[in-house]
Amino acid sequence: MKYIFISIVFCCASLLGIAQNDSLSNSLKIELQSYKFNGAILVETVEIPLIRKKALAIDIKADHWDTTVHNPYIDTFQKFPVELNFTDTTFASPVPHTKVITSRYGWRRGRPHNGIDIDLVTGDSVSTILDGIVRFARYTNGFGNAVVVRHYNGLESTYAHLSHIGVKVNDTLVRGQYIGKGGNTGNSRGSHLHLELSYKGEQIHPEYLFDFSSKNAIRSQQVWVTQKWTHARFHNSRRVSKVKVIKSADEAALLSLAKKPRMYVVKKGDTLYGISRQNNMSISRLCKTNAINKSSPLKIGQKLVLEP
């Protein structure tokens, strides 16, 4: 009977071992019985090796793997909400010092700013925030020297305005690994790192997914992204957006039905005064919503966000 019991325990322990995390012990010790011998208490144990579950291989190069363009999804349409999953609870800081965000994701000077700007000095090291593979590493208009890393959940991170690129396409990286040096290349008004996050070509507000404080925390290992967090017009580059992470499909579907802000396209002869009167908004509110000044010149075709 004793050996039958041991066999049962062994099977159970093996099944348990399949679900164990890699950070746990490689074996499982089980007490079978204890008894006295010459006044001492002896414990009979059996040590069983745990069977590990191997991570499934994910081919992140299978979909739109183009190393020559920044956005290979330009001709595709991604429907939202979409679910993203993370295996980690923290990310690696892209810069080696305290992160100071000088411009946030949102509307800026009448145009969308689709990432966050992190202060640095030219020559500072820049690192990838998560494990992944380099999909793009070259100079491109606007971004200057840029590196795009595709991560294993489909998310891509872009590191722009670099003074030096230290990786090449198809390099496999681990989070925190050096990818280049910060700089001021491309359309840039001073040394900084422009960091963008995107999923299948659609930019996502970086601060919705990550806490850029010293915690370096991923806000949730399961997160639903709605269009509110994929369009700059819902946010202001000068203000911190209030983040409430959506963790269920039902909540994401409900919030996707929320009323969206109206847009106004500037025409010839338009003035801030005329636009504000026409749309029942004060000039100050119109300026604050669009991160512009009352003296800012308007350009034909410029888009302005109108609050209801």
Q: Which of 23-27, 40-44, 100-104, 159-163 has the lowest mean pLDDT?
A: 23-27
Among 115, 94, 92, 120, CA closest to 103: 115
Q: Which two tokens stand for residue 192?
A: 């900084």
- Return the residue matching tokens 């230290």: 166
pLDDT (mean) for 197-212: 97
Rounded to an integer, what distance in angstroms lies between the CA atom of residue 299 and that of residue 287?
14
Rounded to an integer, what distance in angstroms lies between the CA atom of residue 179 and that of residue 159?
9
How does pLDDT run across 149-178, given as a tens digit for each residue? 999 999 999 999 999 999 999 999 999 999
Q: Which two tokens stand for residue 48?
A: 């069983």
Residue 147 banded pLDDT, cuts 50, 70, 90: very high
The CA–CA distances, whole Å, from 301 to 25, 98, 187, 237 equal: 62, 38, 20, 20
What is the per-residue pLDDT for 226?
92
Q: Which of 1-5, 127-131, 139-143, 216-220 has the lowest mean pLDDT?
A: 1-5
How does pLDDT run across 31-88, given as a tens digit for each residue? 655 655 556 665 566 555 554 444 345 799 999 999 999 999 988 888 889 999 999 9
pTM given for the model:
0.70
According to the per-residue pLDDT averaged within each range, which of 37-41, 150-154, 230-234, 303-307 is highest? 150-154
Is the pLDDT at 93 greater than 80? The verdict is yes
